[in-house]
Structure 1
């Protein structure tokens, strides 16, 4: 009953990259692409590079980009190729297993001989252990363990003599006769093992006709035979769960019927018909798990066959022939072999093998059994297919074509999550209202542009917050501004924003406690207010080629976007114009500002035209606070020459300087303040901007491009707000 009073307790830890948080939000994505977009002014390129490089937010959460995922895929594939030896590994593994089986048989034969001679071996089945209670006396006839262990088993190899048979006179064989017969049989079996062919198919064929004396050797050989038959059939039918030798006659008949029906379907597909796939799966679906369509079935069979073909192609010609003979030999049933050849031809007709890579540069030493080798080849081929998907997505921006489940299977959960987040990237931005599609192109919405401006503003003010470099308090006051938390003694004409608490306390401090309170004029205190000025500003941005060469263009653009965002959000009554100047000057609208890129820059620094255009724009407003904020890295190099019919360019140019200073005088006469931010400080430029400052009484800042935003925006805000005293 008290549980509702118990508050949940939560634990918090620092983000270390291992915790799971669902996805990245739209703000994370927009922040990640904003710098790229502001530098180049191309949203499509910024989105494309974002998909290549991925997204990392301030909390450390990350969505890997296509480039990193492809690199991880290449590393994974390279690790496999450097580890395994496919050229001879499969055949070496089979040879080692056969040698182990033959060695077990030799040891079993020797144990039988030792037991017959009265030397029981430890751990031998059916034989007494040394020192045990049931130990048989030396020379006693061993009991028969199985038909294969008795001399009569040798009759299958053309041998004579049996164990337990009576002699010519009807008497049972003596222990001595039994020993000699067993030695003769053992000798012939050992000679048979020594005389086995060198090739693997020949060894398996003759061992299939051989009667083993050792149970363990016989079991291992039967397991190897069954495994090879199952793997051979699984190159087409993934659902094969048993070998041919373990099938009943009914199972074999069902298998043959399935192959014939499958051939019929593939032939109908070649003829352009639509096969009855559903009926086929109702009868034979257990051979093809996870298949939902004929195309899926064909793809599954192609990949399985390609894995075996890949093993073949990575073997030497002699090894390839040896493995092919083994496969033909293991098929057993000639009718199934014919049907399988027809199946291979039909599959090649509908899904050519040349579309699948089968040769890989294996460089390692580790061997693999045939079943593991097939899985490895299938995995490498899937990696090839996934790499093609990733490359296609990079070229065409079609992330939907990437098989996310295959990414998870081949690489892991982190890569899968990243692909899923990249696939949702455009949808996330669109649902947040940051982008919209117009035709075949994505474009930023007004909301998206404002968000990028806020991000630029935040970047610029991050250093200010750390340094504590803020606004200065002014002794001037105004009327009708925002109320502050400070109060003052009321004076005639002040807004009557009464601070009731301090007013009453003033009366108590003057007369002491008691009621009623008698208020006098000096007791009244009112809240201070802020004096808010209205300003008209032209931001002049140097768009000469030197701004690009000196790496200043992006910083200037970021500051312009941030200033516009600041004015729109905090000073909505202000007027802001943006003028770009290079060989000529022109006005840029706010929506054009975001699209500016290095390709908009031109030769020349036409300050005179820029100042002329700025002065004309500011003349539209009656306010007393008019200013031009000019960001440049060089002096004027363009002037107007009427006799030559237009603007002329030279560096340096006294004519350009004269016309620029003339425009500075005109701005000064109109009450326009010019604040200049210089991003480069050679002697000629310093001397010129000092002349501008002397004429206009404006300020000049020699700022580093990395600190430009700090100086510019602090100066703008300081000229905006003054506290009431």
Structure 2
């Protein structure tokens, strides 16, 4: 859009050229419906087909499988590169430094007190936790040793707090006794608040006072007591999972060391009280899980807890991405958590998949059948039929040496109106309208010569109509030999052509395995392959004849798609008799129906799939008796062969 002249307020409108269409959806709905239809035609349930589409993605857009793979790689990398005993390792190093410095000072002294102190140090428990506890009241002679020991207490305090409160490790670095007392007071007030909430009291006012006094410790800024509990419980559960992931010896060491946090046992008592309350209030959190870390990079307790939180978040995302639980929907995915874990593009891909799922549902791709099952809706079937017919058009354009598929000239009486040309039209062009369309298109900036979109044809009234029976083989061999979906796509293409261009024609779809059945397009599309012996062409031709007789005023056409000779026929009592090789009774009954159709002057074409000599001999016999034809297309050309034969039969009339 651009203004004609500055200040005139008038605008001209034209085609948008600067990049992709800004109003276009971020997905190809037509391609999505084609993929859903293909899966359904292969025997997948509609619900599973939708799930598979979400798993694969669409075009260049990542699907859930890609996101799950990246999530698993992130999890594996985290566990492969790190280990959880970083705090224990740092405590051991500080303890060794303190003891070495103290012993060096004592060795330089020649006194009974120095020898006594050396005996004290030699008698320390071998475990770091026991040694740190024994040294709590020790009067250090060496300043460096005293500093290293105080660093242990400081480290343990900061790690204990960092496990439960975000950013506390950095905030409490070089903490003074006053800082430690302020934190202990905050945790004590927090426990009082949670106890009141657990008793069912209204804690809104108490929560406000607590946040006003201690809000600096909670950068997440929770708005209610429940939000605060959720925040703390998730982190406390991750801390517990971290402890569960340690060996029994490491766990015992850390639990003992925590009593020395900041040299104040009261802090450890308050933290233990807090953990117990949170576990009682949020039992649904994962307090029992564990992770397996096997890398070389040690993590401190706070860092390890964050790693366990990340693993827990990954577990939740993995469940959401799997979409395997009842009632799963793409909207269940935590897009913010996905972005935090895998980056912005992962969130964009997941949101587009959710939008695609929502759009497909709003478009009414599926509908509920009478038995409660899901099936493709008429709208989806029209879309699939259009796509199948489009593929057929492409196949017809590349065929060489085949019969002519179109003719020029009138197909009926002209009505005086024109309309755009579409595939299957045989009416003559309206030359003046076609050229006018081309000139108008060029005026809009498109300088191409005559385009198919310019063509308009003279509207005519059809002088004759046809009754068409398309009989398709649904025996197991069609499934086993990969002919199942091509057969269905052929039916879709023909159905779409008849329903959009030759609406006066009466098309009946007939399936035949052990028995034959008249089916609607939706039934055929959703039909699943089943192991069943029998190719009952006899029954199919009986139903075809009944369809032709119901439309006695129409030109009769019978199209048969099969990959095997008839091995079953219908007995008078309705029982299907099966024999292989075909019994004389089966062949006789089938050929009798062929003769009956010939007496109706039906134009019969058999599309023979495969190279079976016995089938070839049989269909040649059928063609001779019915005055029909045999076509032996490959699978890719089946749709084109059936559609072009149908069009040829109309031209012959």
TM-score category (smaller protein): 0.7 to 0.9
Shift of 1:256: 4.2
The alignment partner of 2:610 has SS state of: coil
What is the CA–CA distance in structure 2 between the aligned matches of 1:206 and 1:265, rounded to whole Å?
32
What is the CA–CA distance in structure 1 between the aligned matches of 2:647 and 2:569, rounded to whole Å?
34
1:454 aligns with 2:386: yes
What is the CA–CA distance in structure 1 between the aligned matches of 2:189 and 2:373, rounded to whole Å?
50
1:618 aligns with 2:579: no
Shift of 1:560: 0.6
Question: Is the 2:559–2:604 contact (alpha carbons within 8 Å) kept by the matching residues of 1?
Answer: yes
The alignment partner of 1:603 has SS state of: coil
1:401 aligns with 2:332: yes
Which of 82, 86, 89 matches 1:92? 89
From the CA coordinates, give the structure whose radius of gyration is larger.
Answer: 1
Question: Is the 2:154–2:262 contact (alpha carbons within 8 Å) kept by the matching residues of 1?
Answer: no
Question: Is the 2:330–2:357 contact (alpha carbons within 8 Å) kept by the matching residues of 1?
Answer: no
Question: Is the 1:259–1:340 contact (alpha carbons within 8 Å) kept by the matching residues of 2?
Answer: yes
Check 1:258–1:653 CA distance in 2 against 1; reply closer, same or farther (3 A cut): same
Please, what TM-score do these two structures have when normalized by structure 1? 0.70
Check 1:457–1:41 CA distance in 2 against 1; reply closer, same or farther (3 A cut): farther
Structure 2 gaps of 5+ residues are 7-13, 421-426, 436-456
Question: Is the 1:89–1:369 contact (alpha carbons within 8 Å) kept by the matching residues of 2?
Answer: yes
Q: Map 1:566-581 onto structure 2 (within 5 A).
A: 566-581=497-512
Kindly provide the CA deviation profile for residues 180-205 of structure 1, in whole angstroms up to 9, marking residues without a partner as x.
xx9999xx9xx99x969665454696
What is the CA–CA distance in structure 2 between the aligned matches of 1:382 and 1:656, rounded to whole Å?
65
1:56 aligns with 2:54: no
Q: Map 1:184-223 onto structure 2 (within 5 A).
A: 200=128, 202=131
Partner of 2:597: 667
The alignment partner of 1:558 has SS state of: helix
Question: Is the 2:565–2:615 contact (alpha carbons within 8 Å) kept by the matching residues of 1?
Answer: yes
Question: Is the 1:537–1:629 contact (alpha carbons within 8 Å) kept by the matching residues of 2?
Answer: yes
The alignment partner of 1:397 has SS state of: coil
Check 1:550–1:358 CA distance in 2 against 1; reply closer, same or farther (3 A cut): closer
The alignment partner of 2:527 has SS state of: coil
Q: Map 1:150-161 onto structure 2 (within 5 A).
A: none
Partner of 1:143: none
What is the CA–CA distance in structure 2 between the aligned matches of 1:321 and 1:213, rounded to whole Å?
30
Check 1:308–1:690 CA distance in 2 against 1; reply closer, same or farther (3 A cut): same
Check 1:444–1:68 CA distance in 2 against 1; reply closer, same or farther (3 A cut): same
Partner of 2:440: none
Check 1:45–1:704 CA distance in 2 against 1; reply closer, same or farther (3 A cut): same
Which of 288, 293, 299 matches 1:368? 299
Check 1:318–1:581 CA distance in 2 against 1; reply closer, same or farther (3 A cut): closer
1:649 aligns with 2:646: no
The alignment partner of 2:558 has SS state of: strand
What is the CA–CA distance in structure 2 between the aligned matches of 1:364 and 1:717, rounded to whole Å?
70
Which of 60, 67, 70 matches 2:68? 70
Once the two structures are overlaid, the 10-residue window that deviates more, 659-668 or 24-33, is 24-33
Figure out how many residues of one structure are paired with residues of the other and give that number. Answer: 598
The alignment partner of 1:576 has SS state of: strand
Shift of 1:539: 0.6
1:583 aligns with 2:585: no
Shift of 1:722: 8.8
What is the CA–CA distance in structure 2 between the aligned matches of 1:684 and 1:8, rounded to whole Å?
60
Check 1:580–1:719 CA distance in 2 against 1; reply closer, same or farther (3 A cut): same
Partner of 1:28: 31
Query: What's the RMSD between the two structures over aligned residues?
Result: 4.6
Shift of 1:358: 4.2
Once the two structures are overlaid, the 10-residue window that deviates more, 684-693 or 607-616, is 607-616
The alignment partner of 1:47 has SS state of: helix
Shift of 1:602: 4.2
What is the CA–CA distance in structure 1 between the aligned matches of 2:388 and 2:98, rounded to whole Å?
74
What is the CA–CA distance in structure 2 between the aligned matches of 1:499 and 1:310, rounded to whole Å?
80
1:686 aligns with 2:619: no
Check 1:81–1:330 CA distance in 2 against 1; reply closer, same or farther (3 A cut): same
Check 1:222–1:22 CA distance in 2 against 1; reply closer, same or farther (3 A cut): farther
Question: Is the 1:269–1:350 contact (alpha carbons within 8 Å) kept by the matching residues of 2?
Answer: no
Partner of 1:137: none
Question: Is the 2:41–2:485 contact (alpha carbons within 8 Å) kept by the matching residues of 1?
Answer: yes
Which of 477, 480, 492 matches 2:413? 480
Partner of 1:167: none
Shift of 1:634: 1.3
What is the CA–CA distance in structure 1 between the aligned matches of 2:17 and 2:150, rounded to whole Å?
60
Check 1:663–1:353 CA distance in 2 against 1; reply closer, same or farther (3 A cut): closer
Shift of 1:56: 1.9
What is the CA–CA distance in structure 1 between the aligned matches of 2:631 and 2:319, rounded to whole Å?
54
The alignment partner of 2:274 has SS state of: helix
Please, what TM-score do these two structures have when normalized by structure 2? 0.77
Partner of 1:235: 163
Which of 389, 392, 417 matches 2:348? 417
Shift of 1:452: 1.8
